[in-house]
């Protein structure tokens, strides 16, 4: 049964963040008028008091829960406890109060980090419980994975309509370019652009360059989330991806080409490099709610680079 979002009161947690701003924009394009964006400065969703307050103040029909404590490998290594606790408490409490309030639907955003470290490519949703996640981001991945357990348990016991989506690594304009906490694409873009600007002869990248990743342009991800919110009403997890795999070495070479960096890439093999391979099977999202990524990878990278250059 399709849910018409146009006349619904929709709360987007993390609404002022990277993905949240795009989801809000897509909802407006869909004609939604009653969109409420929660901000961590106003509502610290780790605390139950703030969660109860945001529900009281917005009275939503639909909750799209995007708020998360996220970062790259370095940030995960430095903050495993915080990444576990903050993500678990935000998600579990948001869903529980949503259930108590009798909301129509809860859209929970998981992560590709939920998957076991050694998963056969392309990752299928059925593979989710076949092992332990990659160590550097396991606390984050497991905290998110508990929302899937909660979603399925709440549907079984309470008939609560919640869904669980697992996007691959997102990228695009407005991404986080802070090298202390950023993911790989913004980090490499920043290093290459700055090297060109300051005439540096080399950049240093963590690892060997051998691991592979899959990337989804943020506008496509927002479209996928809204399609699922409208059309998908089951608690089985669904991948959101673009259906391709690229090595970090190839990625760095492509970004260097697009930014005009012609210097040397130094691989710091003393640093961790995360999961060996990542790429998901995208067939379930297409079958269940008609989602297919539209933005070619190189085009998305160009837009991201152009946006970053305008901000410095």
Catalytic residues: 140
CA distance 269 to 308: 28
Q: Which of 195, 215, 202, 197 is nearest to 267 (CA)?
A: 202
53-83 burial code (b ≥16 CB/10 A, e <16):
bbbeebebbbbbbbbbbbbbbbbbbebbebb
Q: Which DSSP string do the residues of the chain spell out, in sequence order?
A: ----GGGSEEEEETTTSHHHHHHHHHHHHTT--EEEEE-TTT--TTSHHHHHHHHHHH--SEEEE-------HHHHHH-HHHHHHHHHHHHHHHHHHHHHHT-SEEEEE--GGGSBSS-PSSBPGGGGGSSPBPGGGHHHHHHHHHHHHHHHHHHHHH---EEEEEE-EEE-TT----TTT--HHHHHHHHHHHHHHTT-SEEEEES-S--EE-EEEHHHHHHHHHHHHHH---SS-EEE--S--EEHHHHHHHHHHHHT--SEEEEETTS----S---B--HHHHHHH-----S-HHHHHHHHHHHHHHH-
CB 307 within 8 A of CB 255: no
Work out the number of other CB atoms within 10 angstroms of the CB of residue 142.
17
């Amino acid at each position: 049964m399709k849910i018409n979002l146009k006349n619904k009161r929709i709360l987007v947690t993390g609404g002022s963040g990277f993905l949240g701003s795009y989801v809000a924009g897509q909802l407006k394009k869909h004609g939604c008028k009653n969109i409420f964006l929660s901000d961590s400065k106003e509502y610290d969703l780790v605390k139950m008091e703030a969660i109860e307050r945001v529900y009281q103040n917005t009275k939503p029909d639909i909750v799209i829960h995007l708020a998360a404590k996220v970062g790259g490998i370095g940030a995960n290594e430095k903050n495993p406890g915080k990444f576990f606790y903050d993500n678990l408490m935000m998600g579990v409490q948001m869903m529980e109060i949503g259930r108590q309030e009798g909301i129509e639907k809860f859209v929970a955003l998981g992560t590709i980090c939920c998957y076991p470290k050694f998963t056969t490519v392309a990752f299928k949703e059925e593979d989710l419980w076949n092992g332990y996640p990659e160590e550097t981001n396991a606390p984050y991945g497991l905290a998110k994975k508990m929302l899937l357990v909660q979603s399925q348990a709440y549907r079984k016991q309470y008939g609560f309509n919640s869904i669980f989506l697992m996007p691959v690594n997102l990228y695009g304009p407005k991404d986080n370019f802070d090298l202390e906490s950023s993911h790989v694409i913004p980090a490499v873009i920043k290093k290459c652009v700055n090297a060109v600007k300051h005439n540096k002869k080399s950049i240093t990248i963590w690892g060997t360059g051998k691991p592979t990743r899959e990337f989804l342009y943020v506008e496509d991800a927002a479209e996928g989330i809204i399609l699922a919110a409208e059309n998908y009403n089951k608690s089985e997890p669904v991948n959101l991806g673009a259906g391709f795999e690229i090595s970090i070495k190839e990625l760095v070479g492509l970004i260097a080409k697009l930014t005009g960096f012609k210097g040397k890439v130094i691989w710091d093999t003393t640093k961790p490099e995360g999961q060996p391979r990542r790429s998901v099977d995208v067939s379930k999202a297409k079958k269940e709610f008609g989602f297919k990524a539209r933005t070619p990878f190189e085009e998305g990278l160009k837009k991201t680079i152009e946006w970053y250059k305008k901000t410095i």
